Structure 1
Amino acid sequence: MLLGTITVGITAPLEEKLDRVRDWGMTCWQASAPEFGVGVEPGRVKDMAAARGLVISALAAGVPMSNPAKREDNLQAWRERVRIAQALGVPVLFSRSFPKPEGVEEAIAWKSCVDHCKEMTRVCDGEGCVFAFETDSGNFIESLAGTKRLLADVAMPSMRINFDPCNFYVGGGDRPDAVMDALFPLFVHGHIKDGIRPEGGKPQEVPIGQGDLDWGDILGKLRKRGYRGAMVIEHCPTFDCVAAAWDHIRSLNVS
């Protein structure tokens, strides 16, 4: 299993971000589509990561698939992001559903998600890469039940899952063991963050190590199940935040 981080949102040159990832002793880095603006060449980023001994684990390439009015724009953006992933040498691209737009009926939003997933999977199948769906709290699809229904309706065996235990827990109250039992064979990538569901309060994300999730248990069980993908720290807006999260992960001594 590879362990690393996401750096999108941290204000610093990309070279400095990759230097930090290397210096922390991580083995991978996840790229995100917003990092590839004008003048950022994916091939150069691939070389920069390789020079630092880092694997680029995946590309966050999300499109608002619950919005049927955006279908053509979304699929064009997806094809462009597949090209970025190919230039990076990245095998996995993932997207969440995004929230249902106001005024869109639930059944229409659901059909839009299914149609998007089918087409995004077909595009990836044709280009030699993998589409992974990410269940996300606050999104149209935010629970294990919703994810299982989506997979059944899409019915494409090459569709995979970006496993984020916090999202399942905060969004749907689903415990990591239940998600692993149901979906583990589909895991190709994942995120590390923490969350709480206080009695009478709002479920929310919190800094890693300050929530309800037992990351020593989660990572240990992933390893015992033979997981060989990446798990990366997410939603840390500063280098100090990433460093604190990484210190916590290392303190778990997961074997």
Structure 2
Amino acid sequence: MFLAPCIEWHFAEYPNLADRVRAAARAGFTAAEFHLWRDKDMAGIAAALDETGLALTGVCVDPRRSIVDPAERRELAAAVQETIAATASLGKPPLIVASGFRVEGMSEEEHFANAVAALKEAAALAEQADVTLLLEPLNTRLFSAMYLVSTKLGLDLIDAVASPNLRLLYDVWHSAVMGEDMAEVLTGRIHLVAHVQVADMDERNEPGTGTLDWPRVMQTLRDLGYQGGIGLEYFPTLPIDQSHAKAREALGL
């Protein structure tokens, strides 16, 4: 496993992400991630990635559109296609998809069927481009009406879509907020998880500052066979070098 800081929130002393890429590399990281791309200097980021050799573990599909609302399906496909094109110069990073909000009056079965149909269309675009889509369950504390707030449901959707280019982003903090048992929801299905993100309870800060049992979290991932990236998607409470040192210590990486 390897660490990837979220440069959307880390190295904030640098005003642009290209310089944050360079800062991450100087800090000893081999990977990083960020959120939306349309407001970013993509050429500058591409140049910084080429210069440092840093890889990206995730960029969000932009704009965010619903996977459950049929009225937004065409816009979702367009967003996926445009994001694939825009991020090609960044090394074809995995692209993160959120679900969007529940549609009033729609049954659970209809929500699921609409999500599968939308994700099949998006996954077909990803297959053509040789890109991985990461479906991310969130939580109801931040987004009370969000459709996908369950790891099990996310994995069920991925099973139903049955595309090698659609995988899960498992966020330890979102899962903990929802009261999930990590081993229970991931056992037997870790092959569907392509990326993991971490933050501590309760306020989404660096691992080691809250109540989560990080040795247990990391041992669970190892026992299940996870070998990918660990995204440091948290709000730092310490100077960034100290914050990363604390996270490394807590995670044992």
CA distance in 1, matches of 2:221, 2:209: 21
Cα distance in structure 2, aligned partners of 1:140 and 1:183: 21
Which residue in 1 is equivalent to 2:42? 41
SS of 2:187's partner is helix
**Does the C-alpha gap of structure 1 residues 156 and 35 become closer, same or farther in structure 2, counting only changes over 3 Å?**
closer
Which residue of the other structure, out of 178, 189, 201, is the alignment partner of 1:183? 189
User: Which stretch of the first structure deviates more once superposed, 21-30 or 244-253?
Assistant: 244-253
Structure-2 change in CA distance of 1:212 and 1:102 (3 Å) = farther
> Over residues 65-115 of structure 1, what are the superposed CA-to-partner deviations in whole Å (9 max), with x where a residue is unaligned?
233221111110110011123221134212121322456554443332222
Q: Distance in 2 between matches of 1:162 and 1:94?
A: 8
> Quick one: distance in 2 between partners of 1:241 and 1:178?
35
| Residue aligning to 2:217 | 218
Whichever residue aligns with residue 111 of structure 1, its letter is: A
Q: How many percent of aligned residue pairs carry the same amino acid?
A: 20
Aligned length: 243
Matches within 5 A, 1:82-101: 82-101=84-103
Normalising by the residue count of structure 2, what TM-score does the alignment of the two structures yield? 0.81
Q: Which runs of 5+ in 1 are unaligned?
A: 197-203
For 1:56-67, what aligned pairs fall within 5 Å after superposition? 56-61=56-61, 62-67=64-69
Deviation at 1:128, TM superposition (A): 0.8
Cα contact 1:59–1:90 (8 A) shared by 2? no
Residue 239 to residue 76, structure 1, CA distance change in 2 (3 Å): farther
Partner of 1:64, secondary structure, is: coil
Which amino acid in 1 is paired with 2:29? M
1:31 aligned onto 2:37: no
Q: Structure 1's 99 and 194: CA in aligned 2 closer, same or farther, altered over 3 A?
A: farther
Alignment partner of 2:34: what SS? Answer: strand
**Does structure 2 retain, via aligned residues, the 8 Å contact 1:30–1:60?**
no
Provide the rounded CA distance (Å) in 2 between the counterparts of 1:133 and 1:122.
Answer: 14
Pair 114,20 (structure 1): closer, same or farther in 2 beyond 3 Å: same
Aligned amino acid, residue 126 of structure 1: Q
- Superposition map of 1:1-255 within 5 A: 1-8=1-8, 10=12, 12-32=15-35, 34-37=36-39, 40-42=41-43, 44-61=44-61, 62-102=64-104, 106-138=108-140, 139-171=146-178, 173-196=179-202, 205=204, 207-223=206-222, 225-236=224-235, 240=238, 242-252=240-250, 254=252
CA contact (8 A) 1:233 1:242 kept: no
TM-score of the two chains, using structure 1 as the length reference: 0.81
Contact 1:191 1:233 in 2 (8 A): yes
Q: Deviations over 1:136-180 (max 9, x none)?
A: 112211113322432343233542111212212212x21222233
Give unmatched runs, 5+ long, in structure 2.
141-145
Greater displacement, 44-53 / 135-144: 44-53
Give me the CA root mean square deviation.
2.8
Does the Cα contact within 8 Å between 1:190 and 1:231 map onto a contact in 2? yes
- Partner SS, residue 35 of structure 1: coil
CA distance in 2, matches of 1:169, 1:212: 10
Distance 1:19 1:117, change over 3 A: same
Report the CA distance shift for 1:212/1:47 in structure 2 as closer, same or farther (over 3 A): same
- 1:28 Cα deviation from its structure 2 partner: 0.9
Cα deviation code 1:173-202 (max 9, x no counterpart): 212222331421112112111235xxxxxx
